[in-house]
Structures are given as structure tokens and as C-alpha cells.
Structure 1
């Protein structure tokens, strides 16, 4: 007999079925035992006599007949609440030990360290299973929509080169080239621009990105996924319009109960956002108590440069006065290019941030495609000749015909957690890293064996 999913039992009254799943609850009334059986599709009540002993969350197989419940025993809170299974045979496939935390609630009040230690159990709770499935739908919709709009999905390397362009890198030692290191990509920024040089014109990928930066509720430590998009022969309006169309369609398809409060989305200059809202991530919801309101906005006309900080210096930006406010590949506003020579702080960048309910959920820009302007920006942020050589591949590529191009990179996890109204980005990630930088379940990072370190030519320096 083939397995039947619980959701398919509704049209099988009077038929014998085989069900497989987890024991959600057990209610023993002496001779008669009631079991709520759970699989990926739902829950159904099963009734039997003289059953073997097992605990909640055990994995079992049941065969039996689907019957209508007596009218007075119908459970309107359950999709299968009008039927039940009369158990004819029950087999225990895997007994479960006592569960270390309750799974029948939303889990918000449980210590996060416990939830992450037993994440495979935490994901059994209804809210978490729903969140992970919604995130999957979000990613699949993005991929399908972009392919239908003539984009090409291209994967870029995970092992790449460290460059001083943002947060701290995660370094990976090379065994074949002792003393040299790869870096995990903070974003595919340079690769996607090189793909525009290559002539693909419309690129995307669901890119894994790695940044050694402090976590926040809207930012996971270590790694995250972004929808990386780049297009050739476009201006800022083209990028904004396409992104707005994509996310409006996504909300309609994946979040049908949600309503976008204003369309077209408001466009606010960085200066006006700061003066009017005190933030470049304003929450424009009309009713902040409405969980179904989504208030998107675009923040534009950012300053191209900010005052340089010690952190910029740490990352190799030299001793110059300026640091890129977005990144060093963002194009200056065409009306402000002359100010690069006279007053760089007044130059506006062609940067655009996508804001949702008070969170930045994506950012992008039109890129510099003229080698002479890129070189000038490098000079303004204080790059030494040695640091410029780290980007020689980009400057060389730009000698061979590069189209005007730009893009955006919304965070998949970040958008999903805001759209769902969750308190933390970790609530939509299957195996997130904790605020202290430890991975769920596996508890990385961990010490390496001496043999591994010797193989890589690495000596760990111990503090005195």
C-alpha cells in the first residue's frame, strides 16, 4: 500500500490508508487511545485500542480506515477535524526520547541558545515550519520571475580574493599555495560587474554572502543570502522600476493577505529622510499595529562619500579624509561629477536603498563604468598604489568595452522576516548563527587538529 499524505485523507472516507509521520500528541483514555499524527501536510486524529507504548514525537506508521467523526466530536480548528482514522495496525519506526523543550507553542519565550542547540526540533513547531516554507516560496518566486524576464542565473566563486571594500573578511588558507589565503565573498560585486563586461546584460543569483560583522536583529552573523541582480544599459529608474515590479508581484503571490500601503513606492532623498524622519530607514506604515501593512520606500541621492572612520582605515582605506558611503564602485550623479575635484562631500551617489517597515531590505546603485572616474574615487578614498593593484583586474577589464550598468541586492532572509513580522532574522533561517557567532547544532567554530594546521603551514599564536 502506498503512503497517503494527511492532506489527501479528506476525500478518502471509507477507504483504507497508510499514514507515516510524527506523534503530535497522545491522549490515553484507558482502553482507547487518541493520537494526533503529523506529517508535512497536516494533522489528523487516529483512534485505536491496545496500542504499544511510545512518546510524543516518535515516528510511526499507521494503517486504518478513514471514517467520519460523530457530529458532536468534530474539531473545527483542524482541517481534518471532520474525519479520523480507525487504527488497524501501528508500527513504531523510531521512538523519541523526552523532548527538551515544548513544541506546541510559538517558542518566543524559550531561551534562544536552547532553540539553536536543538534546531532540528525547533523547526518542527508550526510557526518555524511555516516560516521556512515561506522563505522557500520567496526564493522560488524570485528565481522564476527573473528567468521569465530574460535574466540568466550565474553562480560566482565562493573562494575568492580579499579586497578592502567593506566588512571584515572570512579568510580560508590555501594548502596548495602556502602562506596565501582565499576570502569568502562579502558579495559577488566585482564578479557581477565583470559579467556585464562579458556581455550577459541581465544576471542574477541567490548569492551566499559572508561578512564578519556584529549581528543585529535584522542582520545575521557570518552568512546570509541576497538576491543579486545586475543589468547593463540601464539607469537608476530602470533598476528601481524593475525591483518594484518584482516585489509587488511577489507580495501578491506569496503574501496574499498583505497589502502594500502606497504604490508607486515613495522616493525620498537621503537628506529629506534624515530631516523629516531622523532616519534613512523610515517606517512609513499608516498603522504600525496592522501586521498586514507593508510600507515600501526608496531612499535615493545619498552622499557618495562620508567622513572616514578608524574602521575604514582598518580595512585599508588609507589616511584620506573620505570613505565610500555605499561602496567604491557606486557612480556619482552626472550633475555632480565636477565636484569630485572641488568638493567631494557634496557629490551625490546613484545609490538606492529599498526600505520596508523601517528596515533596509536591499541596496544597490548604478556603477562606475569609466576607468578614469574609478581611479579618481580610489584616490579620494586614499588607496595606495599597492591597494589599487588589488583591483587591477577590474580596471583592466574596463579597458575592453564596458556598458553602463547597475543593480541591486535585496536580502532574501531580511525581506522575509520583515514581511512576516518576525522579531529577528534568525526566525526565518533554518540553521542560523547565534549572536555570539556559533552555528546552530554543529556549534562551529571549533579547534582544528594539529595535523590540519601543519598541512596548511599555520601556527596558532597563544596569548601570554
Structure 2
């Protein structure tokens, strides 16, 4: 039968004990990690979130405690009193390995059945089972360290922003549904039949309104929601560190955020990142790395050979250029001998998943040049290509010919895949950079119109204002992303603060004046009453913690995440709702496609 604590008060956490506590009486509480019965002595490892300490139950010290200890098993919850003693057989692998506690009193607070998963970091169990028993999974030291580290990152960010005059303000969770961005989660209104709230994809409009209100500097560590297809770094609900400032330009926003990142890295990882961070315009990032979130821990940069092969005998190259396409390649410097013909075929299959039709290659070895396309190229053309890539013995050149978007996407991913196969991606190396001057618009072929690259409240570059109506595809934005090791940590922009410019932006996006006022009228109305220039940024807290802990998925740093189909095996959500409640909400469910 479970006992109560009574007057027993915990004096120490398990992992905090050390040689300075020798001969002290301590009161400990936690879970039994394991138990070993040696007859006259029972050894127990006691665990709490700070670590493990060895407990000894000796019949000669307390027969009553010893008798109870005979009953305990793994994952029982216990409380005990005892004396800290120097350990004779020191365990160098345990922070508390120099001491042990001889118990003189024991209470069994809760018994436990054999858990369906082991409470060990290296437990090889399916993720679905881990999520079904997440409360057990979270007992693992690694998971508890991840959540404590997440707390520390959030605390450091909150402290830094508070120290720099930012005010934390909460914004609504039930908001107006707006058409831009990802798909919204909708909440039906019972008191307003037929109408819906949306859960916020971000606090974007509200933080701009806070700037209109004169708040000047705002931040919030906030939940956001997007109904989109999931992957390793996406969840239907995620957490942002959201920041907005008034009377600022791009340099101002980037400067304060570099100092924020420096504080986070220093206080959580004891790493001094070098400031100022590298800045790279979007166009340069795409040209060199094929990505707007480039991993710059290694080379393998893209280079164009359009001028060399536009009239060559290899029709795939020549015809692609003739049809307005692009031919680019990368050099897997010095690693050609590590990729067999079979390996190159696998790389070709890899780029095909990004739309490429094939992968041409040139391998340079001591025996000379080996390439299936060499017979179609003249000696001058081949030499020019090799010179373009600074080719040397041992190099492997890989090429894609297609429309530019496919070339960038496939080669951008290929360079990372090759570096991964070569073991060049060091999780303990952190390369941060800003990507700036994004396109203001991108063309959506499905909707047959331009859509905002970031969101419709992003300000155009001053020198590109006249392009809104004449050449929107060439207009650049005062937008910036912060990238770490090829993953976007966050992004932001200087916002539009003029009603006139905002309406021009809506018009460029294909909205009539009536549509703009129907969807965003409250923002346009607010802009009439004096709006300061303002801008900000939002970080993905989950992604940041994932990278800093070396985790492979944000599910490893979120207490109760969803699976890739946005469900929870533990709570069995989403679930069917009672018909009575649906009627109260004036909602009918149809499963027809």
C-alpha cells in the first residue's frame, strides 16, 4: 500500500550530492532505477531529474527499511533518509560516484508495473511507442536534459530581451482568419453561428499593432499553429521567440539579434560566436549554394558552365540552355575515389527526387578523365569545365541541366547529401549567417499569380518601389533569415508602415481594395493614426534547441509532440466529438471528398 510523505521533506536532489555532503543526513526522493539484492545488503540506484545516486539498505542499520527495500522494484517511487558516506568502489562514470547513502528510513510512495519501455537513453524502441508512453520516455536522462536545456535557452532569451528594454506582451490565440500563409486551424464560434476563429500562425498583425500603440519594443515566447504537412522540423503547434521594434532599419534589427544569439550560445553552450555574423544576399546564396538557407560548413559550391557548353555537342546541355534553362555543377573536391559508379548512380536517383532528369559527371584521376559525356565535348570544352571548377586529380564534378529552380534545388540538396556521406557535417560546429534581400514575391503557378515570399506586410527595398507594378519578379524585400548549419532558425523583415504602400502591395498580390479591407481592414485602419517604421523577427525555438542539443528532430525537444500525421498516440487525438457538442457549435461533419 502506498505511503504518504507525512513530515518527510526532501533536503537534496540526487545528482547534487558529492563529497562535501559526507557524514550528513539527507532526505531523498525519486524513482528506483534498479535494485540489486546481495543478501545482507540491498543496493538501489535512485533517480530524479538531476541524476542518480547509489543507496544502500543494510539490515544492521535499519531492519524496517531493509524489509521495505526487499519489496521495491524498478520505477517505484520512494522517499528515504540516510547518511552520506564515502564510496569505496568509486564509479568514475557517475557524477555522484564518489559517495553513497546508507538509508535508515524508507517510504514506498507509489508502486509501479513493469514499464513497456526501458527508462534508458539507448532504449531501441519505435518512436510511436515512445510517444504513446511519453510520460515514461520523458523520464530518460537525455529527454530531461533536452527540456531543461530548452528552458535555459528560453530564459536566456527572455533575460536578454528584458535587459534591452523589450516588453513581453501576450497576444490573442483566437484571431481572424486571413488568407495568406499556410492553412489555418479553425475554431467554430458557438455564440456566433457559422463564424470561425483561427489559431494564429504567428502574432504578426498584433505585434505590428503593438508598434502602432507605441509599445516600441515587444517580445513574446508564444505558441503558433499551422495546418501543414509535417517533417522532422515541423509540428502543427510550435513555439516562436517573437520580436518587434519601432524606429529601426535592417541593421538595427540584425545588430540586436546578433547580440541575443551571442548571449544564448555563451550562456547555454559556453561558445563565443564571432560577431558581426556573415551576411549574404539571397541571390548570392542561390548562385553559390543552391539554397536560401545554405550550409557553409563545407565547400562544394555551385558554378555555372552555361557559357562553355551552350554550343557543345552534348545535346542535353546545349538544348537546355537554348530553351532558357541552366547548367551548373559542383566539385566534390578530393573525394572522387570515394564514389564508385554505383554510388554516382545512387546520387543520380537522389537528385531525381528534386525534379532533375539526370546527373552528368566527370571524374579526374591519375589515369586521366573518366566521364560518360567526354565523347560529346571537345578537348577545349572539357579543359574549360575542369578549369572553371579548379579541378584536380581526385576530384568528382557533378552536373545538372534543367530549369533554374530545379538546378538550384537538386544541386543544393546534393552538396549536402555528399557532405553527409563523407562524414563532413560536424554537429559541434556552428556556422551562423544572415541571408538578406529576399525576393519580395514568388510566382505561384497553381494560383496563376504572385504571392508574398515571406508575408504581405514586408517592405520592399527603397530602390525597388517602382518595380511593384512594372516588374514585381525583380523587386527585393527588406527581409532577412538567420541560418544555422543549413537550417533556417528564424526570419523577419522591416514592415510596411504606410497605408498607401500597403494597399499597393495588396494590389500587386491580386487583391482588390475591397478584398484588402475585408481581410486586413483593422490593420489598414490603424495605419491611419500614425505608424512608426518598424520591423522584427521570429525564431523557431524548437529548431534552435534541436540544433544546439544535436537532436535529429524537434520531437526530441518538445515535451508532448505530435507524430507526422499530426496525431498523439498517448491521448489518441484528434478524436471524434460528441454530436451534441457539434450541434451546439452549428457544425456538421462530412467525410465526402
Which TM bucket (shorter chain)?
over 0.9
Whole-Å separation in 2 of the counterparts to 1:191 and 1:446:
31
Match of 1:304 among 423, 434, 440: 440
TM-score by length of 2: 0.74
Q: Which residue of 2 aligns with 1:316?
A: none
Number of residue pairs the alignment of both structures matches: 450
Q: Deviations over 1:247-306 (max 9, x none)?
A: 0111000111x453x532111111111110111111122594433221101001111010
* 17-26 or 378-387, larger mean C-alpha shift: 378-387
Give, in whole Å, the separation in 2 of the partners of 1:358 and 1:447.
40
Shift of residue 33, structure 1, vs aligned partner? 1.4
Contact residue 507 and residue 513 of structure 2 kept, 8 A = no
Match of 2:130 among 103, 115, 119: 115
Q: How many Å apart are 1:211 and its aligned residue? A: 0.3
* Match runs of 1:249-268 below 5 Å: 249-256=263-270, 258=271, 260=273, 262-268=274-280
Q: Which of residues 57, 64, 71 is equivalent to 2:82?
A: 64
Report the more deviating stretch, 164-173 or 278-287. 278-287
Aligned counterpart, 1:454: 583
Match of 1:228 in 2: 242
135-144 or 3-12, which moves further after superposition?
Answer: 3-12
- Of 29, 52, 56, 1:47 maps to 56
Structure 1: stretches of 5+ with no match in the other structure: 314-318
1:20-51 CA-to-partner distances (Å, cap 9, x unmatched) read: 11001112223321100012222110111443
Query: How do 1:52-451 residues align onto structure 2 when only pairs under 5 Å count?
Result: 52-70=70-88, 73-107=89-123, 109-220=124-235, 222-256=236-270, 258=271, 260=273, 262-285=274-297, 288-310=424-446, 313=447, 321-388=449-516, 389-439=518-568, 441-451=570-580
Task: Say if 2:31 and 2:76, in contact at 8 Å, map to a contact too.
Answer: yes
Q: In the TM superposition, what whole-angstrom CA distance separates every residue of 1:116-143 from its partner, at most 9, and x where no partner exists?
A: 1111111111111000000001111111
In 1, the alpha carbon distance for the partners of 2:198 and 2:177 equals: 5
Q: Which residue is equivalent to 1:2?
A: 9
1:415-435 Cα offsets, whole Å, 9 max, x none, are 110122210011110001111
**CA shift at 1:383, angstroms?**
1.5
Which has the higher Rg, Structure 1 or Structure 2?
Answer: 2
Q: In 2, Cα distance between the equivalents of 1:12 and 1:308?
A: 66
Instruction: Please give the alpha-carbon distance, in whole angstroms, between the structure 2 residues aligned to 1:399 and 1:440.
Output: 49
Q: 1:436, CA displacement in angstroms? A: 1.0
> Residues 264, 288 of structure 1: CA spacing in aligned structure 2 closer, same or farther, 3 A cutoff?
farther
Runs of 5+ consecutive residues of structure 2 not aligned to the other structure: 1-7, 59-65, 299-422
Counterpart pick for 1:25 among 19, 23, 34 = 34
Q: CA deviation at 1:385?
A: 4.4
1:131-171 deviations in Å (ceiling 9; x for gaps): 00000011111111101100111000000110012000000
Distance 1:259 1:419 in 2: 14
SS for the counterpart of 1:391 is helix
TM-score (norm 1): 0.94
* SS of corresponding position for 1:128: helix
**Secondary structure at 1:294's aligned position in 2?**
coil
Residue matched to 1:34? 43
Aligned-residue Cα RMSD (Å) equals: 1.6
